[in-house]
Amino acid sequence: MNFNKIKNYINIMTERLIKLWRLSFSLAWTHFKLRNEGSYLGIFWYLLEPLCFFVIILLIGGAINQSPIQHYPLYLFLGLIMFNFFINSTSTAAKAIVSNAGLIKSMNVSRESLVISGIFQFVFSHFIEMLIFLGFMIYFKVSIATFIFYLPVFIFFILFVSGISFMLSVVGVYISDLANVWSVFCRLLWFLTPIFYVMPSNSLLQKISYINPMYHFINISRDVLIYIKAPTLLASVFMIFFSVAFFAVGILIFKKYKPKFAELV
C-alpha cells in the first residue's frame, strides 16, 4: 500500500515538473522572439555586449597582463560569455515577479515558471555565444571534442544561477530598487573574478576567491574547454557545493514566500 502511494506521488510530481518545464520553455521562447521582433540586428543584440567587451579588453590585454596567457582570446571570451549569462539571468529574475504582476493576479500561473523562463531566454543566447566560441576554438586549433565535458559544468552552473534567481525574485517583491543594487554588485563581482586577468597564485586575493562561485565555474570551464585538463578535486567540490546549496536555499525561500506574491505585487 505504501509502495503504491509513493509511486502515485512520484507520478504526480513528475507530471507537475513536465508541465512546469514546458510552460517555462514556451514563455522563454516567446520572450526570446519578442526581444528580436522589429529589430534590424535581431539576435545579434544578444552578442553585442560580450563582443564589444572582448575586442576592447583584447586590445588592452597586453598592458594589463604582465605574463602571457596561453590562448588569451579564448580565455577572455569564455569568461565574458559565462559572466554575461550570470548577470543577464539574475538581473531578469530580480524583476520576474513584479514585472508579471498582472499575470499573477489574473491567472493561476506557476510562479516558478516566470523565473525559470527568464533563465531559459539566456540559455538560448548562451548557446549562440558558444557556437561563436566553437569557431574561435577551431581557428586557434584547440580540440572541440572537449565540448562534451562542458555540458555537466554548465548544468551545475544553471543550478547555481537558478538558486540565485529564485532568491532575487523574492527579494525583488519587497525591495523595488533591487535591480539597481544588484547591477552595482555584479559590476564589482566582475572585477573580482579573473575574467581578463590571471589570479596570482598563493595570494590573498586567490584565497578570497575560493568563496566566489564564479571563480570556480569559469576556471573549471577554461580547464576542460581550452586547456584540456581535468579540474582539481577541490575546485570540483566547490562547484558542486555552490550549485546544490544555492539551488536548495533558493527553492526553499521561493516556496515559502510565493503564496504572498499576489497580495504584494
pLDDT digits (tens, 9 = 90+) for 91-133: 999 999 988 887 787 777 788 888 998 898 889 889 989 999 9
Q: Which amino acid is at 122?
A: F
pLDDT digits (tens, 9 = 90+) for 126-153: 998 999 999 999 999 999 998 999 999 9
Q: Which amino acid is at 140?
A: F
**pLDDT at residue 154 tops 50:** yes
User: Residue ranges of the alpha helices (H) in 65-177?
Assistant: 72-94, 101-106, 111-139, 147-174
Helix (H) or strand (E) holding 69: none
- Grid cell digits, residue 132: 561563436
What is the pLDDT, as a whole number, of residue 63? Answer: 47
Pick from 149, 127, 142, 153: which is nearest to 227 by CA? 142
Number of domains in the chain: 1
- Grid cell digits, residue 263: 497580495
- Global pTM value: 0.87
Query: Could you tell me the residue range of the domain that residue 181 belongs to?
Result: 2-264
